[in-house]
Amino acid sequence: MVRNGHLTDLSPLARRYARARLWWLNREDPLKAQAALLHKLVRRARHTHFGRTHGFDRITDVGSYQRRIPVRPYSEFWSDWWQPHYPDLFGQTWPGRIPYFAMTSGTTTGRSKHIPYTEDMRTAARRGFIDLLCHHLLHRPQSRVLGGGALGLVGPVDLDQAANGVGTGAVSAITAGSVPRWLGDRLLPPPEIAALTDWQEKVRKLAPLSLRSDLRFMGGSPNWMLIFLDEVARASGTPEGRLKDWYPNLELIVHGGVNFAPYRQRFADLMRGGHAETREIYSASEGVFAYADRGDGGGMRLHLDGQVFFEFVPKDQIGTKSPERFWLGNAQTGVDYALVVTTAAGLWSYVVGDVVRLVDLAPPRLLVVGRVGNDLSVFGEHLIEAELAGALSAAAEENGLSIRDYCVGPVRNGRRNHHHYLVETTGVRPPGSSRALAQSIDRNLQARNEDYAELRKNDLALSPPEVEFVPPNGFVNWMKKRRGLGGQFKVPRIINDLDLLSDIRAVALHPRPEEHANNA
Q: Side chain identity at 447, as an amino acid letter?
A: A
pLDDT band (50, 70, 90) for residue 514 = very low
Cα atoms in the Cβ-side hemisphere of radius 13 Å centred on 259: 29
- pLDDT value at residue 498: 85
% of the chain beyond a pLDDT of 70? 93
- Which ranges of 283-324 does DSSP label H, i.e. alpha helix? none
CB of 93 within 8 A of CB of 117? Answer: no
- pLDDT value at residue 176: 80
| Residue 310 phi, psi dihedral angles, 5° rounding | -100, 135
Q: Each residue of 289-304: pLDDT tens digit?
A: 999 998 777 899 999 9
User: Can you tell me the mean pLDDT for 143-152?
Assistant: 94
- Residue 40: pLDDT above 70? yes
- Which ranges of 28-83 does DSSP label H, i.e. alpha helix? 30-44, 49-53, 62-68, 74-77
- Residue 513: pLDDT above 60? no
Residue 169, classed as helix, strand or coil, is strand
Q: Which residues pair with 150 in a beta bridge?
A: 187, 217
- pLDDT value at residue 163: 92
- pLDDT value at residue 292: 96
CB of 97 within 8 A of CB of 88? Answer: yes
Spatial separation of the C-alpha atoms in residues 368 and 300, rounded to whole Å = 9
> In sequence order, what DSSP letters do the residues of 86-113 get, joined into one string?
TT--BSSSSSSB--EEEEE--TTT---E
Task: Report the DSSP pairing between strands 160-163 and 166-169.
Answer: antiparallel
Spatial separation of the C-alpha atoms in residues 230 and 501, rounded to whole Å = 26
Looking at 109-113, 153-157, 385-389, 441-445, which range is the least confident one? Answer: 109-113
Spatial separation of the C-alpha atoms in residues 157 and 99, rounded to whole Å = 16
Number of CB atoms found within 10 A of residue 229's CB: 24
- pLDDT value at residue 465: 96
User: Can you tell me the mean pLDDT for 156-177?
Assistant: 87
Cα atoms in the Cβ-side hemisphere of radius 13 Å centred on 142: 3
Q: Each residue of 347-391: pLDDT tens digit?
A: 999 999 999 999 999 999 999 998 887 889 888 888 988 899 999
Distances in Å between the alpha carbon of 229 and those of 208, 238, 243, 267?
11, 11, 9, 10
User: Can you tell me the mean pLDDT for 425-450?
Assistant: 93
- pLDDT value at residue 326: 98
- Residue 223: pLDDT above 70? yes
- pLDDT value at residue 79: 96
- Residue 5: pLDDT above 80? no
| Residue 234 phi, psi dihedral angles, 5° rounding | -65, -45
Mean pLDDT of the chain: 90
- Residue 306: pLDDT above 70? yes
- pLDDT value at residue 182: 74
Task: Report the DSSP pairing between strands 308-314 and 300-302.
Answer: unpaired
Spell 351-388 as b/e; 16+ CB within 10 A means b. Answer: bbbbbbbbeeeeebbbbbbbbbebbbbbbebebbbbbb
| Residue 283 phi, psi dihedral angles, 5° rounding | -120, 135
- pLDDT value at residue 180: 75
Most confident option among 4-13, 139-148, 192-201, 479-488: 139-148
Q: Each residue of 225-263: pLDDT tens digit?
A: 988 999 999 999 999 899 999 999 999 999 998 889 888
Element (H, E) at 502: helix 498-509
Spatial separation of the C-alpha atoms in residues 53 and 75, rounded to whole Å = 19
Q: Each residue of 395-423: pLDDT tens digit?
A: 999 999 999 999 999 998 766 889 999 99
Closest CA to 442 of 474, 406, 497, 398: 398
**Is residue 241 exposed (0-12), middle (13-18) or buried (19+ Cβ within 10 Å)?**
middle
Spatial separation of the C-alpha atoms in residues 32 and 279, rounded to whole Å = 27
pLDDT band (50, 70, 90) for residue 69 = very high
User: Can you tell me the mean pLDDT for 429-443?
Assistant: 94
Spatial separation of the C-alpha atoms in residues 485 and 466, rounded to whole Å = 28
- Residue 173: pLDDT above 90? no
End-to-end CA distance of the chain: 38
pLDDT band (50, 70, 90) for residue 517 = very low
378: CB partners within 8 A, 6+ apart:
410, 412, 417, 496
- Residue 484: pLDDT above 70? no
In this structure, the dihedral spanned by the alpha carbons of residues 250, 252, 256 and 262, taken in order and rounded to 10 degrees, is 70
Q: Is 273 left (phi over 0), alpha (psi -120 to 50) or beta?
A: left
Measured in whole angstroms, how far is the alpha carbon of residue 418 from the centre of its chain?
Answer: 29
Spatial separation of the C-alpha atoms in residues 351 and 342, rounded to whole Å = 9
Looking at 86-95, 207-216, 269-278, 450-459, which range is the least confident one? Answer: 450-459
Distances in Å between the alpha carbon of 245 and those of 229, 260, 270, 403, 427?
12, 23, 10, 22, 19
- Residue 161: pLDDT above 80? yes
- pLDDT value at residue 520: 33
Closest CA to 350 of 284, 406, 412: 284
- Residue 518: pLDDT above 60? no
- Specify the higher pLDDT residue, 498 or 209: 209
Residue 499, classed as helix, strand or coil, is helix
Closest CA to 443 of 400, 394, 481: 394
Closest CA to 282 of 338, 354, 345, 388: 354
